[in-house]
Amino acid sequence: VSEIMVRIPTPLRGFVGGAAEVRARGDTVAEVLRDLGARHGELLARLLNERGELRPFVNVYLDARNVRTLGGLQAAVQPGGVLSIVPAVAGGLPEATPSPPGALP
């Protein structure tokens, strides 16, 4: 079983006692996350939905590759690898309220 380093972004550090990095064990990304979840259940709930799938606002990188491009959570991890949790960052302007045709500005 491989032990690898998991990098935690600032917004999720409260779930791991403030640590920027934690270690976890497993042979696949899913096993590593489950191992992490055994100690930090709330963190796991932020990463995976009820069906055990990665939440849409969360990205997981194995070294420099997005695990979504590596076959998902079943991707194999190697000893010495680094798993990075990367928050999805987005936003924007208020939704425009379309004015009806002919309405005054």
Partner 1 sequence: VSAPLPGTSSAGGAGALHLPAASRRTIEGVAARGYPHEVCGLLLGRPTPGGAEVMEAVEVRNASLERTRDRYRLDPEDFLRIDLRARALGWDVVGIWHSHPDHPARPSTTDREHAWDEYVYVIVSVEQGTATALRAWCLQGGEFREVEVSSDPQPRRQEEARS
CB distance 62 to 77 below 8 Å: yes
CB of 80 to partner 1, least distance (A): 16
Structure tokens at 98: 């379309």
- CA 11 to CA 90: how far, in whole Å? 15
Q: Does 19 bind partner 1 (CB under 8 A)?
A: yes
Q: Does 37 bind partner 1 (CB under 8 A)?
A: no
β-pairing, 82-87 with 3-7?
parallel
Chain positions 56 to 95 lying near partner 1, rule: CB under 8 A, are 57, 59, 61, 64, 66, 84, 86-95
- Residues interacting with partner 1, by CB under 8 A? 7, 9-11, 13-14, 18-21, 57, 59, 61, 64, 66, 84, 86-96
